Amino acid sequence: MNTGPEHRLLQVLGNWMQHEGPLYARLAQAFTLAIKQVDLPPGTKLPAERRLADMLAVSRATVTQAYESLRGGGWVQSRQGSGTWVGSMSHAGLHPAPPGPRPLSSGHFFSRLVDSSPRSPLNLSIAALSDTDEIFRDGAPFDLEDLLGAPSHGYAPLGHPLLRQMVAGIYNRAEAPTLPEEVLITSGAQQAISLLACHYVQRGDAVVVETPTYAGAIDAFSRAGARLIPVPVGSSGVRLDLLAEALASAKPRLVYLMPTFQNPTGAVLSEQARQEIARLADQSQVPFAEDNTLAEISFGAEPPPSPLAHYARGGTIVSIGSMSKLYWAGLRVGWVRGSESLITRLGQHKAAADLGSSMVSQAIACRLLPNHESVRTRRGKLLKSRLDTLERLLRERIPEWRWRRPEGGLSLWVRIPSSDAHTFAEQALRHGVAVTPGSSLAPDDAHQDHIRLNFVVPEELLDTAVDRLAAAWRTHRSAGGPEREAVEVKV
């Protein structure tokens, strides 16, 4: 089984096979980039050639040649009996970077967002819909009058006044009374999480997160210097008994949860559980951030449960929302709902970061939101059909895999009969399909027998993707990947 440092190395190397040239050159390029960015600081011990070959599902000769190339460029050093390690920066003509935030813990995920290569694989690792034509026909274009009410200079760190009012209306309809002054518009939910991390967390502070959870949250809190305290997610959401223990023992500065269609498990907290979490938040006076970015993506006729903010009375629940998942990630429109004093302070952080989100995107959002219920219904039907297709294909072609069907969200949390999902993910990438290994979604490298599959691509591409996954699985099994008897999933 891979150790924690080995998993972090795989994450730092990221989507290394998308570089140009033979395999050894691609691997060497990935190492070089990681060393330049100080994701692999001087003195970092690298795995032995045979071990790294096993981790990456490549031949030992590939690793040997990559290491030789790195030694030739002065990037690494080796000594018989001592192994291989990252050399001093002077060997590479560089200077050490000053101490700073730790590297991205899930860099492989974000590297695919910036990979513009036409050779990029069929991607089931990014949860973002590209079907936008119908939605934008309904809600766009906008004209200059949509910008009326915004400051004439265009800078509004707190957001367009009309959009803040419309977002407040979403919470008011959920019986979580909200004023426009209690809403901050952000550049997507990722910025919302980062602003909360910047405001609440100092280096060494404890932050409670679910495991598994959203990789972007792990990175945002880690880069703020937080000690992440993982609390497991069960079939009905976060384990409340363990959450209460973490609050008592870790004294966290912040708790981050996804109560509805949790990413990646799809779990939904019951109303009783939501009431208990609100009680814990009020009792402890620890801020709880609820991430509701997936809450509107439901496959059933019933509306999603009320947000945690509906049950809280002490103002300790901070809500995060976004239009990225339901509408289009390219809008980069998200928000934070909290007390007016918190919103003012977060707005100051945001002003220092970007002076305010794009007014053009916010004007488009104002045009789209009046059709919210229609969009929610259509998206639910579309994604349910794709989930049905993915499940049918997996049952037909990879019957050993196990999962629990979600009632909403964008992903399937799959347990594979192997304790090394990272190695399988590398094998899948070699077969032309990108998936997310479970340990990339955990602060403690847990869930090494899980992968996350997003079902956002059209059904014909799902068919191709599962064909490639089946071929990768056969190769993984024949190569002697760690196996165990398949059992029913208990996530």
Model pLDDT for residues 307-324, shown as the tens digit of each residue: 999 998 777 899 999 999
For residue 43, the model assigns a pLDDT of 83
- Phi-psi region for residue 312, left (φ > 0), alpha (ψ -120 to 50) or beta? beta
The pTM of the full predicted model, rounded to 2 decimals, is 0.78
> What percentage of residues in the chain have a pLDDT greater than 70?
85
Please report which confidence band the pLDDT of residue 105 belongs to, taking 50, 70 and 90 as the band edges. very low
The class level of CATH for 133-372 reads alpha beta
Q: Is the distance from CB of 491 to CB of 234 less than 8 angstroms?
A: yes
Residue pLDDT, tens place only, 432-465: 999 999 988 998 878 999 999 999 999 999 999 9
Tokens of 446: 């847990």
Tokens of 397: 């072609």
Of 139-143, 202-206, 386-390, the one with minimum mean pLDDT is: 139-143
For residue 343, the model assigns a pLDDT of 95
* Segment 470-487 mean pLDDT: 71
The residue ranking higher by pLDDT, 44 or 194, is: 194
What residue has token string 């980062």?
Answer: 194
Please report which confidence band the pLDDT of residue 9 belongs to, taking 50, 70 and 90 as the band edges. confident
User: Is it the case that residue 148 has pLDDT exceeding 90?
Assistant: no
Tokens of 234: 């069960």
* Segment 29-33 mean pLDDT: 87
Fold of 374-478: Aspartate Aminotransferase, domain 1 (3.90.1150)
User: Is it the case that residue 142 has pLDDT exceeding 70?
Assistant: no
Residue pLDDT, tens place only, 220-231: 999 899 999 999
Q: Is the distance from CB of 315 to CB of 177 less than 8 angstroms?
A: no
Report the run of H or E that residue 184 belongs to, with start and end: strand 183-186
Please report which confidence band the pLDDT of residue 133 belongs to, taking 50, 70 and 90 as the band edges. low
Of 11-15, 86-90, 294-298, 413-417, the one with minimum mean pLDDT is: 86-90
CA dihedral 239, 171, 222, 96 (to 10 degrees): 170
Q: Is the distance from CB of 86 to CB of 75 less than 8 angstroms?
A: yes
For residue 96, the model assigns a pLDDT of 35
170-178 LR contacts (CB < 8 Å, sep 24+): 170/321, 170/369, 170/372, 171/307, 171/309, 171/319, 171/337, 174/306, 174/307, 174/309, 174/310, 175/306, 175/310, 176/306, 176/307, 176/309, 176/310, 176/319, 176/337, 178/309, 178/337
For residue 171, the model assigns a pLDDT of 94
Of 122-136, 149-163, 387-401, 426-440, the one with minimum mean pLDDT is: 122-136
User: Is it the case that residue 18 has pLDDT exceeding 60?
Assistant: yes
First to last CA, the chain: 20
Please report which confidence band the pLDDT of residue 140 belongs to, taking 50, 70 and 90 as the band edges. low
The residue ranking higher by pLDDT, 121 or 10, is: 10
Nearest to 112 by CA among 41, 37, 19, 225: 19
For residue 57, the model assigns a pLDDT of 79
Fold of 4-92: Arc Repressor Mutant, subunit A (1.10.10)
Please report which confidence band the pLDDT of residue 254 belongs to, taking 50, 70 and 90 as the band edges. very high
CA dihedral 437, 442, 448, 450 (to 10 degrees): -50
Q: Is the distance from CB of 337 to CB of 183 less than 8 angstroms?
A: yes
Residue pLDDT, tens place only, 192-204: 999 999 999 999 9
For residue 93, the model assigns a pLDDT of 40
CA angle 378, 187, 226 (to 5 degrees): 110
Strand-pairing partners, residue 231, are: 210
Helix residue ranges per DSSP H, 97-206 = 107-114, 133-139, 161-173, 188-200
* Segment 368-389 mean pLDDT: 93
The domain locations on the chain are 4-92, 133-372, 374-478
* Segment 170-185 mean pLDDT: 95
Nearest to 390 by CA among 124, 52, 137, 107: 124
Give per-residue burial for 35-56: e unless 16+ CB within 10 Å, then b: beebbbebebebbebeebbbbb
